[in-house]
């Protein structure tokens, strides 16, 4: 059993949940995920570990309600309730070392999985520049947490209601064009954002990692939902990743596959594929 210690709505349809999971908290590393089974009738769903506290024995997850199962997991349980089980940590941890200057890019709820990675880079002595983005001010996630682990934080909103008006790639591109020192980039967020970050850094030959956690379905390596072409080879985000070399990911193929799943989700939600 996994007890929910705290639950709060952090932006529309996005919940922050703190779970009692001492064994996972003790072992997990930035970049890894867990699989939640809220009750035996439900389905297993993977979620990235957004924070962990080894002393308190807790992990934190940010979950966006996007379908029936995420709605059930978030909205049918309150603090004090228990999920049936939680398995982890799973997936390959992020590569951790002192690269020099690291730019951590998080878009939407992708800021949550970026946070423990940025914190660990900072602890290893990297200069951490974080760029976080959202559609508007109300959707900006974990700004203060990110500020606390960054040497510099740039906030972007698509509509300009807060911070820089525009996309996370704008300040990144400006930095690279000015010749500022950037040794490593990690980007987590919507697939289109990660593709655009990869396109931005490629001409400057800056190694860029993307975390494809959002494309996972069951997280066990069995459903094939997270299959992605990386350097021409088939990889599974949940087993071989979720982090990959962004310049080797076939984003065109990935986005095609995502469209197929989106249609199926819409049908599941009774929207007739609309």
Q: Which residues bind ligand FES (CB under 6 A)?
A: 216-226, 236-238
Identify which of 239, 10, 109, 155 has the alpha carbon closest to the alpha carbon of residue 18: 10
The answer to whether the CB of 182 falls within 8 A of the CB of 103 is yes
Q: What is the Cα–Cα distance from 180 to 173, expressed in whole angstroms?
A: 10
The DSSP result for 104-152, as a single string, is EEEEGGGHHHHHHHHHHHHHTT-EEEEEEEESSGGG---HHHHHHT-SE
Nearest CB to ligand FES, comparing residues 70 and 200? 70
Q: What is the Cα–Cα distance from 210 to 219, expressed in whole angstroms?
A: 17
Q: Work out how close the CB of 2 gets to ligand FES at its nearest, in angstroms, rounded to a whole number.
A: 20
| 63 marked ligand binding residue | yes
Q: Work out how close the CB of 200 gets to ligand FES at its nearest, in angstroms, rounded to a whole number.
A: 27
Nearest CB to ligand FES, comparing residues 79 and 255? 255
Nearest CB to ligand FES, comparing residues 57 and 225? 225
Q: Work out how close the CB of 184 gets to ligand FES at its nearest, in angstroms, rounded to a whole number.
A: 26
Residue 98 tokens, joined: 């002192």
Q: How many other CB atoms sit within 10 Å of the CB of residue 174?
A: 12
Nearest CB to ligand FES, comparing residues 255 and 271? 255
Q: Work out how close the CB of 268 gets to ligand FES at its nearest, in angstroms, rounded to a whole number.
A: 17
Q: What is the Cα–Cα distance from 58 to 3, expressed in whole angstroms?
A: 10
Nearest CB to ligand FES, comparing residues 104 and 212? 212
Q: Work out how close the CB of 216 gets to ligand FES at its nearest, in angstroms, rounded to a whole number.
A: 4
| 28 marked ligand binding residue | no
**Residue carrying the six token digits 């049908």:** 267
| 64 marked ligand binding residue | yes
The answer to whether the CB of 260 falls within 8 A of the CB of 267 is no
Q: Binding site residues for [2Fe-2S] cluster, as ranges?
A: 223, 226, 238
Q: Binding site residues for FAD, as ranges?
A: 62-64
Q: Binding site residues, as ranges?
A: 62-64, 223, 226, 238
């Amino acid at each position: 059993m996994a007890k929910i210690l705290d639950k709060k709505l952090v932006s529309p349809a996005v919940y922050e949940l703190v779970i009692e999971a001492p064994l996972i908290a003790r072992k997990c590393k930035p970049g890894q995920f867990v699989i939640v089974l809220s009750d035996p009738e439900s389905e297993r769903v993977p979620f990235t570990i957004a924070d962990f506290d080894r002393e308190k024995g807790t992990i934190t997850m940010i979950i966006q309600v996007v379908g029936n199962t995420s709605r059930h997991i978030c909205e049918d349980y309150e603090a004090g309730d228990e999920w049936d089980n939680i398995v982890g940590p799973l997936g390959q941890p992020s590569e951790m070392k002192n690269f020099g200057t690291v730019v951590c890019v998080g878009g939407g709820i992708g800021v949550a999985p970026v946070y423990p990675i940025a914190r660990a880079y900072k602890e290893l002595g990297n200069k951490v520049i974080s760029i976080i983005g959202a559609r508007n001010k109300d959707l900006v996630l974990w700004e203060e947490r990110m500020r606390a682990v960054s040497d510099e934080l740039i906030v972007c909103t698509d509509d300009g209601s807060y911070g820089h008006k525009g996309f996370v790639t704008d300040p990144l591109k400006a930095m690279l064009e000015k010749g500022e020192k950037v040794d490593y980039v990690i980007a987590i967020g919507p697939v289109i954002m990660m593709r655009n970050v990869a396109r931005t850094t490629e001409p400057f030959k800056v190694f860029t990692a993307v975390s494809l956690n959002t494309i996972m379905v069951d997280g066990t390596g069995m459903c094939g939902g997270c299959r992605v072409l990386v350097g021409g080879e088939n990889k599974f985000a949940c087993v071989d990743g979720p982090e990959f070399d962004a310049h080797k990911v076939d984003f065109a193929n990935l986005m095609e596959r995502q469209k197929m799943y989106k249609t199926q989700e819409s049908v599941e939600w009774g929207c007739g594929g609309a």
